[in-house]
Amino acid sequence: MVFETGNFLESVSLDCVVFGFHQNQLKVLLLKMKYSHERALPGGFVMKNETVEQAASRVLKERTGLDNIFLKQFMVFSDPSRSKMNPAVKDLVESGANPNLEWFAQRFISIGFYALVDFTKAVPTPDYFSEKAEWLNLEEINSLIIDHNLILQKALNTLRLQISYQPIGYNLLPEKFTMPELQKLYETILGKTLDRRNFQRRMLSFDILNKLPETKKGGAHKPPYLYEFNLENYKKALENGLTGGW
């Protein structure tokens, strides 16, 4: 048995909404369950000697191969009926593999995390219950197990709020990126278009970008300059917050 349930804290689970960005699309990492074939957010349990943040890091390391993922808890989901329709339990029954069915069937409150990762670096990897892990575009996402649609929606709301007073992008973009790419990221998260010139002026005013002397050639038309984040200032901005909203 893969799960040594005795190592875990009772009653507590966690679910992660992992956001990535690729080809101007906001993506979410989802699992496909082995037996029910339903989709689910990656999640896990908390070991007896780790914090919930460490647990989420551990889980995401397993699901993406990445360390040092940007990770934030945003809400606890605790509707008493939420666990009842967990298909993982059904899956366990069908697999006949698990001696500790009751443990999985217990009531869990789940701590919701959202994570921002570099799409190109993550290697989606299924877990014990799933046959596949893959990125889906936001619009492609239909019904998820249990309350995972709700969790996703709350995560998205939180991200949208966050973006107004925190820098975002370092964890979602490759090291070097163009201003139009950054703008698309913002537009995608916010769900609206922004003025190109005002966006650039605003971004530059935050003083978290280094403009590089190179441009990104290869597209048809005028090549855009490349930028990188000025990590020192970026971190300062993370702590102190930015101003205003879009």
Partner DNA sequence: AGATTAAAGTGTTTATTTGACACAATAAAA
Partner DNA sequence: TTTTATTGTGTCAAATAAACACTTTAATCT
Question: Closer to a copy of itself at the Cβ: 20 or 112?
Answer: 112
Is 179 among the residues that bind DNA (CB under 7 A)? yes
Give Cα separations from 174 to 12, 119, 152, 178, 208 (angstroms): 34, 8, 24, 10, 15
Q: Say which entry of DNA, a copy of itself, none residue 217 contacts (CB below 5 to 8 A, set by partner kind).
A: DNA
DSSP 11-74: EEEEEEEEEEEETTEEEEEEEEETTT--EE--EEEEETTS-HHHHHHHHHHHHH--SS-EEEEE
Is 246 among the residues that bind DNA (CB under 7 A)? yes
Strand ranges inside 97-218, DSSP E = 109-116, 130-137, 177-178, 209-215
> Residue 135 forms beta bridges with which residues?
29
Is 49 among the residues that bind a copy of itself (CB under 8 A)? yes
Q: How far apart are CB 159 and DNA at their closest, in Å?
A: 20
Secondary structure (3-state) at 192? coil
Is 80 among the residues that bind a copy of itself (CB under 8 A)? yes
Question: Closer to DNA at the Cβ: 96 or 213?
Answer: 213
Q: Indicate which single residue of 99, 123, 221, 239 sits in contact with DNA (rule: CB under 7 A).
A: 221
Give the tokens for residue 30. 């989802």
Q: How far apart are CB 80 and DNA at their closest, in Å?
A: 43
Question: Closer to a copy of itself at the Cβ: 205 or 210?
Answer: 205
Task: Tell me which residue of 118, 139, 135 sits closest to 126, measured CA to CA.
Answer: 135
Q: Indicate which single residue of 5, 36, 78, 233 sits in contact with a copy of itself (rule: CB under 8 A).
A: 78
Give the binding range for DNA (CB under 7 A) out of 41-49, 106-114, 145-153, 223-231. Answer: 223-231
**Helix or strand holding residue 159 (H, E):** helix 148-165
CB 232 within 8 A of CB 206: no
Binding site for a copy of itself (CB under 8 A): 9-12, 46, 48-53, 73, 75-76, 78-80, 107, 109, 111, 161, 165, 241, 243-245
Query: Which spans of this chain sit near DNA (rule: CB under 7 A)?
Result: 178-180, 195-198, 200-202, 205, 215, 217-225, 243-244, 246
